[in-house]
Structure 1
């Protein structure tokens, strides 16, 4: 039976920042990730980040991943376990995991769960045809493996992910026939929408997909308009000649391990689904269990990094490490408030208010 002071589950932006923050205060950390390498979604994000210098503004996600990985690797207090799947967290605090092909167990004094989120899918006729992808899969194919998914794409979802992936597809020489969204408004940043519009891609709001066409794979798609009650408008069907349908319709927090701990969760649509109750230190209703990143609420990677830092500092502080951590946390909480300010952050602010933390 192994033991660590702080176990961090998830090696994406939140998990890496939590490890760096906690170890920076002197705590011994074990960082788990099921991938072959650390980085999470950052390793496929080629766009430049917004925010402040603290949140790596102007730096591409793939480069932020390298910066954080280097910081993790050079800290001798952080033990990294990649290619490792957490299987369960038991009532007695034992964490079981599979490292490679070996089954192992570990206990921790504090645990930070930063497992991220999974892509949501969409119900429509023939949605199981080859050629129907999640946006994350398309990013993995293109940005990690250099493979384009097809030649003509229908993007479903005009949030930041849909807009960014559309632009990346065009950079790779793929034609984006249209971007559609059921909402009457574009959900992503105007700067992303403007880039694809300037390249001649129509963004059709109040539209949805009715069915995919094809027998062996996607050969087309039928879209239609939606009325003010989000119902299909008869006679507005339009057929598009595409061989890829890419779904960017949101993410769901991965809360399975949180449920193992018995912490209280609540369904808040604005935060992505079932999310944990937590306090200002990002500690859940179970003592010693913390949360950060998309597991807590689906948000931008910049916010996930700040939350990871807050959770890491909080866990280290609870073990008696560090000095003046409270003041340090205040500065990061202020950064988080700034990232959530304005109209763009309204959904997150109202969601957290509904959560009642």
Structure 2
């Protein structure tokens, strides 16, 4: 039996394991992927002139540190059910049942699908799949690419694909429909660009951020070039929409049209851009199925990427002995997930060891580190994340004061 079982061997899970193990806890980490690191494995980008973020190197360092501290890590293990018990939790996995005092869900995020005519043709993939192929498996996804979906994630990975030797011809938006009111409308896409932090790594995004407070996106879109603005030498065309992906046995290209700021198609502007593979970038959402199984109270928060389990700043949930950390709590970058993992590991250790007063200073410093990472983040996936986080923490306090915790199923 474990003091702490962590589901998810990404940045949050690994850091939580390290923090807990340093306090003497018996910790196990499981992950359904075959390698440790989660989304770290696909990340490779330049943070400043002299500094590159290499996710594989970070993952290897955390892995080695966790193993050195005695953490047991098993990959290729899926979890299909959770059950509370008088001692804590049972987790039913593809390798059998695990017993633990405390359970941490660090399951990360999943990509949001964007259905487009032709999206089942071989050679169409999510932007994250292309990232994994290139950066993790060292397999070049193809030679020429069109990316459908203009957002923070697609821009970052487009540059990574370019580093792999791919000719990324353009980043465009999907045709607007009832389900794509944001991603398929130039005004909404421009609004998201203008809300990027002033610390963004390109002149375009920095300037847009400066003017965001007094220029309406509809005005900015009018002056956005029809042929796009180049970022990393890749044209970002928010006035060009994909209507269909072309090909039969494999991708041959993308049919596009020009659109007005509200997403309305401009007649007689059809065009075909040739490519041998297409990436669809619909954004990210918290991967929260296991939290739903556990009985967590959820709230939909657009700024955090979707439905998230109500939790405290110390990563507690409303369910006894259950904690969360990383992108399951809201989509942010890997450094923030790592910092959250440390908070969760220390919080759990203080409960297991019964030394809450002695641990208080360490936990407060770890919580402050999360806020610091958030304040200094180069770019945010959504605007007003800090404010949304505070609302979630307030919701937790209300739940904690006014509602009984779900009764445990003793077995």
TM-score above 0.5: yes
Report deviation, 1:287. 1.5
- Superposed CA deviations along residues 121-161 of structure 1, whole A, max 9, x for unmatched, are 11211111111111121112112222211121111233332
Inter-CA distance 111–222: structure 2 relative to 1 (3 Å threshold): same
Give the alignment partner of residue 201 of structure 2, picking from 191, 200, 219. Answer: 191
Equivalent-residue separation in structure 2 for 1:194 and 1:174 (angstroms): 23
CA distance 1:291–1:193, change in 2 (3 Å): farther
The answer to whether structure 1 residue 64 and structure 2 residue 58 are counterparts is yes
TM-score (norm 2): 0.77
1:349 equivalent in structure 2: 386
Alignment map for 1:72-87 (pairs within 5 Å):
72-76=66-70, 78-87=71-80
Match of 2:335 in 1: 302
> Does structure 1 residue 202 correspond to structure 2 residue 200?
no
Query: Of the candidates 124, 148, 152, which is equivalent to residue 156 of structure 1?
Result: 148
Indicate the SS of the match to 1:111. Answer: strand
Of 365, 368, 385, which residue of structure 2 is paired with 1:331?
A: 365
TM-score (norm 1): 0.88
1:170-319 equivalent positions in 2, closer than 5 A = 170-181=162-173, 182=184, 183-185=189-191, 187=193, 190-191=200-201, 197=230, 199-319=232-352
Tell me the alpha carbon deviations over residues 242-280 of structure 1, each in whole angstroms, 9 at most, x when there is no partner: 121112221121111101110101112221111100112
Distance 2:34 2:322 in 1: 25
Aligned with residue 115 of structure 1, among 104, 107, 110: 107
CA contact (8 A) 1:27 1:321 kept: no
Map of 1:54 onto structure 2 = none
Match for residue 98 of structure 1?
94
Check the 8 A contact 1:13/1:39 in 2, yes or no.
Answer: yes
Which whole-Å CA distance do the structure 1 matches of 2:14 and 2:20 have between them?
A: 10
Secondary structure class of the residue paired with 1:275: strand
- Cα distance, 1:284–1:198 mapped onto 2, change above 3 Å: closer
* Counterpart among 19, 30, 33 of residue 31 in structure 2: 33
CA contact 1:26–1:321 (8 Å) conserved in 2: no
Structure index of larger Rg: 2
Decide whether aligned partners of structure 1 residues 173 and 258 sit closer, same or farther in structure 2, where only a CA change above 3 A counts: same
**RMSD of equivalent CA atoms:** 2.4
Q: Given that residues 44 and 52 in structure 2 are in contact (C-alpha distance below 8 angstroms), is that contact kept between their aligned partners in structure 1?
A: no
Query: In structure 2, the residue corresponding to 1:11 is in which secondary structure?
Result: coil
5+ residue gaps, structure 2: 174-183, 206-228, 397-411
**Correspondences of 1:123-142 after superposition (within 5 Å):** 123-142=115-134
For 1:252, what is the secondary structure of its paired residue?
A: strand
C-alpha spacing 1:331/1:271, structure 2 compared with 1 (3 Å): same
| Structure 1 spans left out of the alignment, 5+ residues | 51-56
Residues 26 and 232 (structure 1), Cα distance of their counterparts in 2 relative to 1, 3 Å cut: farther
